[in-house]
Every structure is written in structure tokens, then in C-alpha cells.
């Protein structure tokens, strides 16, 4: 694997900070969650702001800090329901005795308790308080109610406390805390891998107003990018012009022509684990792009000849690299599917080729559905008609199996 393994890649963590001396540690925690690839947003209780300033947390998280339940400014940007929906995990660290009591009794009178009530994602609490407060029956009952309701309890640790006493109640150290948070997520099949995908058509300019292109909609490539991101990968999507919005959590690199796509891929492919060429790259471009609009001939001539020159084969160049990524091509064919697909697999030195029959207009280019056959050197797999998104998940599974099998 060429990239560092980030255990929280693409994960959205809503960090709730409550009032206690350990609140200062939430600054470091934010950083370390980000180092692992997480996108972190912060909710602070009013008493937390007595211990650490919202400005510090805002600067570190690079997002406005959410403080109030009904704040017209932040509510309009992201209200409590949106915040709860946004999060893949809500982590309260440090969680004070007061917060545990209010959460356990179902309060919804400040932003943090309300977000926790509205949450459908997992919630984890990392308590931090004086040892006597932690051991009190009331606090113990509260934490056990929460654990019974499915809240994940991370810590607390034992040892010397800020108040000078020794006992259980310390916030878990940052390293084990990050480990426990990472363990709460299913490790995505492509967690920490980098996947470069080309998608859509390319446009080859004839003159300032005309171009040569094709019917590719980009739907299959975008669906694959979304599925790879869901599987935990860093995804770079180099895309020709489409009408689609790039999926969330994907780095989108818009290009127009095959030459631009070629350049964008060359600049990024050195560090990737997987390359998937879904783009319908134009095989040829006009040798010369006219700088002025070509005028219709005024007398006699009823033909116009355009000279074309071959574009670089982007995927073949990727597959010819010394340290080539796992390389997957697409073959849109109208006849002899297996023969042509296998020929491309061999000629372009691909690890896998996905063949689809574009003579059937219900599937392929502009459709939301597709039916494909995957060919590998010694194997093949038929995937019957299904949505491009469902197909993408199956393809990502297959690619992940190959990566796992690689030494
Ligand atoms: O040879 P053909 O164009 O049918 O091959 C299709 C595969 O090759 C697709 O994966 C496509 O993205 C890729 N390709 C490419 N650069 C080209 C032409 C095709 O990467 N110039």
C-alpha cells in the first residue's frame, strides 16, 4: 500500500466538549482525529467555553463552533437536526458528570443534549471528572443507563487527577481514545487506500464553438467514486464535462479534453493504489484547433475534411508504469463483448476490465442501470442488470479482494 493508513478517513466526527478541566485536551483530540482523516465539527456546552475558547476550537476544526440551540446564525447554516444527520459518530470528550446526568435523563434543553437526542448514528462518551464524582452511585447509574441504551463508554482512565487525587475518572489518553474511536467504525474495504477514477466524456475542440465528443453521462464513474469513498478510500475523480454533482468526500478534478485528462492523471497517479478508467476518452482530436470559428464555404465546396490525431491512451500509460496501481478498464462494446474485452485486458496490461454491451440502450451510457461482465486474467464474473450504484459496490468489493490478496 502506498498511502498511510488513516483509520478515520472520510469519517465525520461531531465532537461534543463539556465543562471540565480536561476540556483543554479536546484541542489536541481534534487535531489527532483530523490526522486520522476525520472531518471534525465541534459542539461546546456553555460551561466548556469557560475552560477553552470556541475560537481555539474553531481554528483547529476549521468550522464554526456550535454553541446554542437556537442561534439564528449557526442554526441557519447547520441546525441541530442537520448536525445530528451530518455525523457518522458523536463523541463527547470530555463528558462531565452533569452531562451524563442530563443525557441519561433525556434532556433536550441545550444544543449538545438535543443533538444527542436527535442522533441516529453511534454516540460515544469519554467521561472525565474527579474520582469521587465518578464513583458516586448517581454517576454510575447514569453511565450504566447510557451503556444499556447502546452508548459507547470510552474510559475513564485511572491515575493522578488535575485535583491532585488519585483514582478512576481521568479522560482516556489521546492515543487509546483515538484507537477506541477508530474501532467503532467498520473498517471500510478500501480504508486508507487512494483510488483515482476517470469519468465522463472528453471534448475535443474543433474551433472555439465546436467539439467532438460522445454520449458518456459520467453516471457509472461517479457511482464508483461514491462507492469507493463509502468504502473508506481517498478518491480523486478526474472528470470530463457532465451534468452531475461530484459525490461528497471526493476530490473532484474537472477537465475538458483528453489531453487535460491525461495531464491530470499523470500528475496524480504516482501515489495511488487503484486506477479505474471509466471515462469515454476520445481516441482522436483535431490536429489543429482553429482559433476562429470555421466559416461555411461560400462557393461550390460541399465537403470539409478534418484531420485528426490520436490521443494518448491514458489507461495503457498508467498500466505501463513500473509501480503500477491495480488498474481497471471499461470496455463499451456493441458486439463480440468477451473477445474485444479480453483483447483490451491483454493489450493494455490491465488487471481487470469491465465490459458492457452499449448496443442495448436500456443499459450503459445514459442509463441509471447497467449489466456488466468483469474479466480478469484467469476469471470472469457476470453481474446482471442493476443500478449503477449497486454495481459499483460489487466492483469495489471485487477490487478490494484483489488488493487484499496482493503481497
Ligand atoms: O480502447 P478503448 O477506448 O475501448 O478502451 C477503453 C478503456 O480505455 C476505458 O477504461 C477508457 O477509460 C480507457 N481509455 C483511456 N484513454 C484513451 C482511450 C481509452 O484511458 N485514450
Whether residue 94 has a cis bond before it, omega within 30° of 0: yes
> Tell me, what's the pLDDT at 79?
81
**Most informative mutation of 212, 218, 264, 329 for ligand 1 (most atoms within 8 A of CB):** 329
Rounded CA separation 371/362 (Å): 10
Rounded CA separation 304/187 (Å): 58
Which residues make beta-bridge pairs with 12? 39
Whether residue 156 has a cis bond before it, omega within 30° of 0: yes
Rounded CA separation 201/215 (Å): 7
- Does this chain's domain 6-185 share its CATH topology with 194-292+301-405? yes
Q: Is 383 in a helix, a strand, or coil?
A: strand
Nearest CA to ligand 1 atom 10: 329
> Tell me, what's the pLDDT at 312?
98
Query: How far from 185 is each of 61, 157, 232, 401, CA to CA, in Å?
Result: 21, 22, 10, 20
Give the model's confidence band at 4: pLDDT under 50 very low, under 70 low, under 90 confident, else very high: very low
Averaged pLDDT score across all residues of the chain: 91
pLDDT in tens, 174-200: 999 998 998 888 667 898 899 999 999
Inform me whether the pLDDT recorded for 6 exceeds 80: no
74-78, 116-120, 198-202 — which is least confidently predicted? 74-78
Query: How far from 308 is each of 247, 281, 283, 294, CA to CA, in Å?
Result: 34, 14, 9, 16
**Most informative mutation of 200, 260, 261, 279 for ligand 1 (most atoms within 8 A of CB):** 279
- CB under 8 Å to 44, separation ≥6 — which residues? 16, 17, 18, 52, 54, 57, 65, 66, 67, 112
Answer CATH for 194-292+301-405 from 3.40.50.10300, 2.60.40.1080, 3.40.309.10, 1.10.3720.10: 3.40.50.10300
CA 33 – ligand 1 centroid, Å? 39
Cβ atoms < 10 Å from Cβ of 111: 24
pLDDT in tens, 147-163: 999 999 999 999 888 88
Residue-range domain boundaries for the chain: 6-185, 194-292+301-405
DSSP assignment of 5-72 = --TTTT-EEEEEE-SSGGGGHHHHHHHHHHHTT-EEEEEE-TTGGGTS-HHHHHHHHTSPPB--TT-H
CA 329 – ligand 1 centroid, Å? 7
Nearest to 391 by CA among 361, 359, 367, 407: 367
Query: How far from 396 is each of 107, 247, 345, 389, CA to CA, in Å?
Result: 42, 16, 18, 11
**Most informative mutation of 203, 214, 258, 281 for ligand 1 (most atoms within 8 A of CB):** 281
Inform me whether the pLDDT recorded for 70 exceeds 80: no
Q: Is 102 in a helix, a strand, or coil?
A: helix
Nearest CA to ligand 1 atom 1: 344
Give the model's confidence band at 356: pLDDT under 50 very low, under 70 low, under 90 confident, else very high: confident
Query: For residue 241, with 0-12 CB atoms within 10 Å meaning exposed, 13-18 middle and 19 or more buried, which class applies?
Result: middle
> Tell me, what's the pLDDT at 365?
64
Inform me whether the pLDDT recorded for 55 exceeds 90: yes
117-131, 339-353, 366-380 — which is least confidently predicted? 366-380
Ligand 1 pocket check for 103: Cβ under 6 Å = no
CA 311 – ligand 1 centroid, Å? 10
The number of the ligand 1 atom at minimal distance from the alpha carbon of 333 is: 4
The catalytically annotated residue of 78, 162, 163, 403 is 163
CA 278 – ligand 1 centroid, Å? 8
Cβ atoms < 10 Å from Cβ of 299: 4
Ligand 1 pocket check for 95: Cβ under 6 Å = no
> Tell me, what's the pLDDT at 2?
41
> Tell me, what's the pLDDT at 248?
82
Inform me whether the pLDDT recorded for 328 exceeds 70: yes
Inform me whether the pLDDT recorded for 3 exceeds 50: no
163 is catalytic: yes
pLDDT in tens, 257-308: 999 999 999 999 999 999 999 999 999 999 999 999 998 876 677 888 999 9
Note whether 150 and 89 are within 8 A (CB).
no
pLDDT over 90 for what percent of the chain?
74
Note whether 198 and 314 are within 8 A (CB).
yes
Note whether 260 and 240 are within 8 A (CB).
no
- CB under 8 Å to 79, separation ≥6 — which residues? none
CA 182 – ligand 1 centroid, Å? 38
Answer CATH for 6-185 from 3.30.450.90, 3.40.50.9100, 3.40.50.720, 3.40.50.1950: 3.40.50.1950
> Tell me, what's the pLDDT at 1?
39
Amino acid at each position: 500500500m502506498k498511502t498511510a493508513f488513516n483509520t478515520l478517513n472520510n469519517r465525520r466526527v461531531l465532537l461534543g466538549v463539556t465543562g471540565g478541566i480536561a476540556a483543554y485536551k479536546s484541542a489536541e483530540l481534534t487535531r489527532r482525529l483530523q490526522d486520522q482523516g476525520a472531518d471534525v465539527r465541534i459542539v461546546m456546552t456553555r460551561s466548556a467555553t469557560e475552560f477553552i475558547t470556541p475560537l481555539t476550537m474553531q481554528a483547529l476544526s476549521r468550522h464554526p463552533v456550535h454553541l446554542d440551540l437556537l442561534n439564528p446564525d449557526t442554526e441557519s447554516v447547520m441546525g441541530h437536526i442537520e448536525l445530528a444527520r451530518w455525523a457518522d459518530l458523536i463523541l463527547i470528550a470530555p463528558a462531565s458528570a452533569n452531562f451524563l446526568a442530563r443525557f441519561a435523563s433525556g434532556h433536550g434543553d441545550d444544543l449538545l443534549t438535543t443533538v444527542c437526542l436527535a442522533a441516529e448514528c453511534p454516540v460515544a462518551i469519554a467521561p472525565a471528572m474527579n474520582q469521587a464524582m465518578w464513583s458516586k452511585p448517581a454517576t454510575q447509574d447514569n453511565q450504566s443507563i447510557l451503556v444499556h441504551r447502546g452508548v459507547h463508554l470510552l474510559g475513564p482512565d485511572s491515575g493522578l487527577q488535575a485535583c491532585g487525587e488519585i483514582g478512576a475518572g481521568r479522560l482516556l489518553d489521546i492515543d487509546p481514545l483515538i484507537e477506541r474511536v477508530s474501532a467503532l467504525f467498520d473498517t471500510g474495504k478500501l480504508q486508507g487506500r487512494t483510488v483515482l477514477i476517470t469519468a465522463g466524456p472528453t471534448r475535443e475542440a474543433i474551433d472555439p464553438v465546436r467539439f467532438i465528443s460522445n454520449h458518456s453521462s459520467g453516471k457509472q464513474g461517479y457511482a464508483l467514486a461514491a462507492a469507493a469513498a463509502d468504502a473508506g478510500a481517498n478518491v480523486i475523480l478526474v472528470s470530463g464535462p457532465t451534468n452531475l454533482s461530484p459525490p461528497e468526500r471526493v476530490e473532484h478534478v474537472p477537465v475538458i479534453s483528453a489531453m487535460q485528462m491525461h495531464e491530470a492523471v499523470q500528475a496524480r497517479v504516482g501515489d495511488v493504489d487503484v486506477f479505474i478508467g471509466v471515462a469515454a476518452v476520445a481516441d482522436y482530436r483535431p490536429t489543429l484547433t482553429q482559433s476562429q470559428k470555421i466559416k461555411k464555404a461560400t462557393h461550390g465546396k460541399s465537403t470539409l475534411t478534418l484531420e485528426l490525431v490520436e490521443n494518448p491512451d491514458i489507461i495503457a500509460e498508467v498500466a505501463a508504469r513500473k509501480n503500477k496501481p491495480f488498474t481497471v478498464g471499461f470496455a463499451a462494446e456493441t458486439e463480440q463483448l468477451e473477445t474485444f474485452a479480453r483483447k483490451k485486458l491483454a493489450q493494455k496490461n490491465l488487471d481487470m476490465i469491465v465490459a458492457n454491451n452499449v448496443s442495448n440502450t436500456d443499459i450503459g451510457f445514459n442509463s441509471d442501470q447497467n449489466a456488466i461482465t468483469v474479466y480478469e486474467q484467469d476469471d470472469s464474473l457476470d453481474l446482471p442488470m442493476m443500478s449503477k450504484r449497486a454495481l459499483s459496490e460489487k466492483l469495489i468489493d471485487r477490487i478490494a479482494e484483489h488488493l487484499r490478496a496482493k503481497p
